[in-house]
Structure 1
Amino acid sequence: MNSSFWTVVGFTAKNKIRGKAFLITTLIIAVIMSIAINLPYIISQFSGEGKPTAVGYLDSNIEKAKSNLFTHTRIAAMLNDYYAKQEKPELKLVPIPDAGSAEANEKALKQAVADDEIQGYIEFSPGKESGFPAITYKSESLMESKVSASLSAALQVVKMEAVIGGGGLSEEVKALLTKPIELESVQISTVEGAGSIGQGKTKEQQGMDFGTVYVIIIMLFMAIMISGQMIASEITAEKSSRVMEILITSVAPLKAMFGKIFGMFLVVLLQMAIYIVVIVINMTLPQNADKLGELGIKLSDVDPVLLTYSLVFFLTGYFLFATLFAAVGSIVSRTEDLGQAVMPITMLSLAGFYICIFGGMNNPGSMLMKVCSFIPFFSPYAMVSRLGLSDPPLWQVWLSILILLATILAAGWLSAKIYRAGVLMYGKKPSLKELGKAMRAYK
């Protein structure tokens, strides 16, 4: 290609990068990403999540006098012991003195909640079968799923310990019964000649692959939406301002179209690189690095094979949609009509994104995902999901890539003909018949 192509590429890239819209949009999205990544930590700092939640219970003298195995006071003490063994206790049981009557006790418990001494309280009532009391957690909050789930798990452990402790078992037998089961999940491949993606990976490595796929899919969707709209809107704006008539005399239509596509690709590449740097910096902050460390996840666990294939599908997916956006932008004369014109392409990309996020991430080996892997408009999303979360045969991966490349060539050829005919067609949006006639007339 001669210098005119690179002139278009350089002009398109510099014009967008230097624009205020690019700088402001990139900065705003980077800030939003930083806040989203650190949101759990920010919430914990303002909500006091670092401290155990205070849960009250009635400290009854009558219960202390009973010899029942499951006295309320004993259960509360065992719950406190359970939470005291945690590195970061979730709950803390707070005794509320017995006021002498049911009404007075209820009033005292509610007053403790109102005074912020406790967040809620538990009430005991006789159990139906096992002798273990039925327990109710009361709180002002409409849904206290976190506290309820924690209490449910703790009470199950307390019940088991109380039964074991009352059965006269030795300490060795108790330790054997309460020792957690060790279960390891390892991904394998049952297909000969598969891409060797995911074989023998640990649970942590699989988690890293899941995160990589999630990020790649979102990045691809953002790249298509951002660049596609920019390519189409820039071509339409040049047509509406009649700049296209001057431009077309200096640069061949095909060089102008592919120059804009490649120039916009460089802009999007820079923008995606900035977002990736922002994500990596935020994930390496102490509060986030500690969380990842607890889960056994390290950025160094990213699979290079998965990353390579993801990059291939990212590039092919981008150029496929970019050529279509350029073609549509060339046949629209007014920016007001652009949104309606690009809607079908936007819906195709959106459909692929939703299929993978809501279907492929949970069941990458489903028939829907296998079929979508060979549909060019969906395969950049679908095959990345399958590569990261399962182990598709290598021939399917390369067949998907070849279909994508063939579709890009066909779309590029068709888009080039539409672009050559459409850039100088003004007025209302041309019909398919008028566009076809203009394409045949253009030599």
Structure 2
Amino acid sequence: MNKMGTVIGFTFRQKARTKSFIWTTIILALLITIAMNIPYLISIFKGDTAGETGGKEQVQLGLIVNDYTTVADELEQYSLTQSVTPVEWVHYPSAGDDKLRTAIAEDQVQGYVELVRPEGEGAFPQVRYASVDDEPSEEIVSLLQSGLQKAKTKAVAGDALSANQIAQITERVAIDSREVSKDEAGGGNGTAAEEQVGDINYAIIYVLMILFFTSAMMTGNMIAAEVTAEKSSRVMEILITSVSPLTQMFGKIIGIFYVGMLQIVVFALVVGGNLLLPHNEAILGQFDLRLADLNYAVLIYGLLFYILGYFLYGVLFAAVGSIVSRTEDLGQAVMPITMLSLVAFYIGIFNIAASDNMLVKVASYIPFTSPTVMLLRIGLDRAAAWEIWISLALLVAAILFFGWLASKIYRTGVLMYGKRPTIKELRKAMKAYKI
């Protein structure tokens, strides 16, 4: 056990200190940061005042009240309570006012709202919104509709309703939508169809699947490259006299697993830090992404499936690395494993909108694809607890089987030089070495 710890510690320190690992981690962290801040960066380059208003665009609009002072006051009060688009109202006497025209020409206001007397009888005014842009802002239109609806409700109800009741009437009804399959629609109890999946769960699933694929491939190739490099430099012949091949293999796998976990922790801190920025909090609100809707089971099971999936692919990469004598041949040798991981990734990504089809259900039990596909079903509440545990049990059984097979290949392959041996040659060598 002491030798195993030595191999784990040596492998971790050696890989974590390499320039390639450090620079890859830094570059990926920068790319994540840039991707999460693209809307804010765009607003800066466009010259918006987002940085001065906590990440929210400040809008100045002209307001032509005419004889509707009460309605205008209600609209202004309502806009003050909204955090999506802060509006500063500037009063003008009429749409033809010279000051208003000058303000529009000099980009001091982004448009104007005019309260116009309706044709025929009517106590509530017609509203005209003129925007400087080619297309009026959807956020401004939404704010005007909500604010004027509240003013209209108050004007009609008078003192019959309290301010709280008016606020409840004018509050928009939140609707969570999801796709329902034919099986669910005719299932009888309808409980599955009533489940709601927040948008944030889709985002988390995308991130976790991409993270699993990139991390598993990077760390898997590290394992194979480490073994092949030691074998090609003949260092393996020295190491094998002091440490058993089995201890070497699992020591390297565990050591590089710690390297992968370190990278994931760094990425998690980068994502968390960016989410805490004020302008990103506003963007999450605009896209209706609420942490309260997050299915935390997907994070717990996601970590569990990542660990087990890593070890399954890790033992395969170690076995393949042990039978390759030159690093130049490694890319071709690991291609089948890379293709397996790509299949798992693509099944998950391209079926996120149709997570109840037969392909997804079958793939969620296959050990090579279950780390991503079952994660998809968990995140969208499409998997029962017994299905998850069956998938985990099959994944553990696959790790034990392929770990046993990989250890036999490893013990034989590390001492075989020359061209890459065939399966038949490996079987002969195992029998000769009584492995």
Residues 83-113 of structure 1: CA distance to partner in whole angstroms, max 9, x if unpaired? 99965559999xxxxxxxxxxxxxxxxxx99
Contact 2:295 2:379 in 1 (8 A): no
Q: Which residue, 357, 363, 367 being the options, matches 1:372?
A: 363
Deviation at 1:202, TM superposition (A): 9.0
Deviation at 1:255, TM superposition (A): 1.1
Counterpart for residue 9 of structure 1: 8
Contact 1:5 1:255 in 2 (8 A): yes
Counterpart for residue 242 of structure 2: 250
Deviation at 1:34, TM superposition (A): 2.0
Q: Which residue, 291, 297, 301 being the options, matches 1:297?
A: 291
Matched, 1:315 2:274: no
Q: Which residue, 372, 378, 381 being the options, matches 1:390?
A: 381
Deviation at 1:214, TM superposition (A): 3.2
Contact 1:53 1:118 in 2 (8 A): no
The whole-number CA distance in structure 1 between the counterparts of 2:318 and 2:194 is: 42
Deviation at 1:324, TM superposition (A): 0.7
Counterpart for residue 401 of structure 1: 392
Contact 1:53 1:119 in 2 (8 A): no
SS of alignment partner, residue 291 of structure 2: coil
Unaligned runs of 5+ in 2: 62-75, 90-102, 112-130, 185-190
Moved more, 385-394 or 314-323: 385-394
Contact 1:365 1:390 in 2 (8 A): no
Contact 2:200 2:290 in 1 (8 A): no
Distance 1:201-1:237 versus aligned 2 partners, 3 A rule? farther
The whole-number CA distance in structure 2 between the counterparts of 1:38 and 1:203 is: 28
Distance 1:148-1:296 versus aligned 2 partners, 3 A rule? closer
Contact 1:55 1:118 in 2 (8 A): yes
Matched, 1:331 2:331: no
Contact 2:201 2:379 in 1 (8 A): yes
The letter of the residue matching 1:428 is K
Contact 1:207 1:297 in 2 (8 A): no
Residues 386-429 of structure 1: CA distance to partner in whole angstroms, max 9, x if unpaired? 11211422221111111111111111111112111211222222
Deviation at 1:200, TM superposition (A): 12
Distance 1:48-1:358 versus aligned 2 partners, 3 A rule? farther
Matched, 1:24 2:23: yes
Contact 1:209 1:302 in 2 (8 A): yes
Contact 1:376 1:403 in 2 (8 A): yes
Deviation at 1:47, TM superposition (A): 5.1
Distance 1:138-1:378 versus aligned 2 partners, 3 A rule? farther
| TM alignment of 1:18-417, pairs within 5 A | 18-45=17-44, 46=47, 89=85, 179=170, 182-183=173-174, 185=176, 206-292=198-284, 295-297=289-291, 303=296, 305-360=297-352, 362-417=353-408
Residues 186-206 of structure 1: CA distance to partner in whole angstroms, max 9, x if unpaired? 99xx99xxxxxx9999968x4
Deviation at 1:236, TM superposition (A): 1.0
The letter of the residue matching 2:344 is G
SS of alignment partner, residue 354 of structure 2: coil
Counterpart for residue 99 of structure 2: none
Residues 165-213 of structure 1: CA distance to partner in whole angstroms, max 9, x if unpaired? xxx99999xx99x9465245499xx99xxxxxx9999968x44444443
Deviation at 1:277, TM superposition (A): 1.5
Alpha-carbon RMSD across the aligned residues, in angstroms, is: 5.1
Contact 1:292 1:298 in 2 (8 A): no
Contact 2:57 2:86 in 1 (8 A): yes
Deviation at 1:228, TM superposition (A): 0.4
| TM alignment of 1:398-437, pairs within 5 A | 398-437=389-428
The whole-number CA distance in structure 1 between the counterparts of 2:395 and 2:252 is: 21
The whole-number CA distance in structure 1 between the counterparts of 2:310 and 2:249 is: 15
SS of alignment partner, residue 429 of structure 2: helix
Distance 1:322-1:47 versus aligned 2 partners, 3 A rule? farther
Contact 2:225 2:321 in 1 (8 A): yes
Task: State the TM-score, normalized to the length of structure 1.
Answer: 0.69
